[in-house]
Amino acid sequence: MLDCAMKIFRGDSQFVYDEIGFGDLKDIYSMPGAYWKQYHYYSSALPMMNIQVVTEPDPTNFSDDWALVPLVPVSFYLQFYSSVYGVDRRELEGHLALEAYWIDGEGGRHEGNSLPSFPPLLRQHVYRYRAKEQATSSRFPVDVDFFYFEPKDGDENREPSLYAIKITRSYPYITPEMRKKKREEEQQKKPD
């Protein structure tokens, strides 16, 4: 399932909401006038988890009318209903080919993967990564977050438990002004 998500979010595979390997489509959620959709899946092989994919209008499409812009996947979220013990973070890092750094929303590179915890979730430990660039000419950079819970004092099991995994496609940040300028440039390139 994670391999399938990585291929989709890198742009190596197409997202066809009812033909992917995430399980059976359970629900599609959106709101009137909204330009996004949230797809929820049920996997009989892994029934104790929430699986969802969020789509939004393609940020690389500079159209002025969002209703005409095709939707593209922006995030994949896998959440366990009950935290899972025994999932080695290092094995996940190797399997998903993740870097030892992460990129913030402004493009800044940060070495290491461990993020600080804040109240009220002091036991939650988030690890953030940028996926390694693939030789397959993937179209998009991908970011991955692992959400673990550290054991409480007195817990019988002393290892961290995996709570969730989030995979996001990293699009370049484009302001409305930049979008307008790109749209004007594209219109000027068109022959009369």
Distance, C-alpha 92 to centroid of its chain: 15
Instruction: Give me the pLDDT at residue 192, please.
Output: 61
CA distances to 45, 109, 143 from 74, rounded to whole Å, are 25, 21, 10
The answer to pTM > 0.85 is yes
27/43 Cα distance (integer angstroms): 13
170/103 Cα distance (integer angstroms): 9
34/131 Cα distance (integer angstroms): 30
Mean pLDDT of 58-76: 88
Q: How confident is the model at residue 115 (pLDDT cuts 50, 70, 90)?
A: confident
Beta bridge partners of 24: 42
Residue 113 DSSP symbol:
S
H or E, element range at 186: helix 176-189
Mean pLDDT of 154-183: 85
CA dihedral sign, ordered 169, 120, 118, 97:
negative
Percent of the chain topping pLDDT 90: 46
Count of alpha carbons within 13 Å of 91, Cβ hemisphere only? 5
10/132 Cα distance (integer angstroms): 10
CB 98 within 8 A of CB 131: yes
Beta bridge partners of 125: 148
Three-state secondary structure call for residue 142: strand
Average pLDDT, the chain: 88
Distance, C-alpha 134 to centroid of its chain: 17
Q: How confident is the model at residue 137 (pLDDT cuts 50, 70, 90)?
A: low
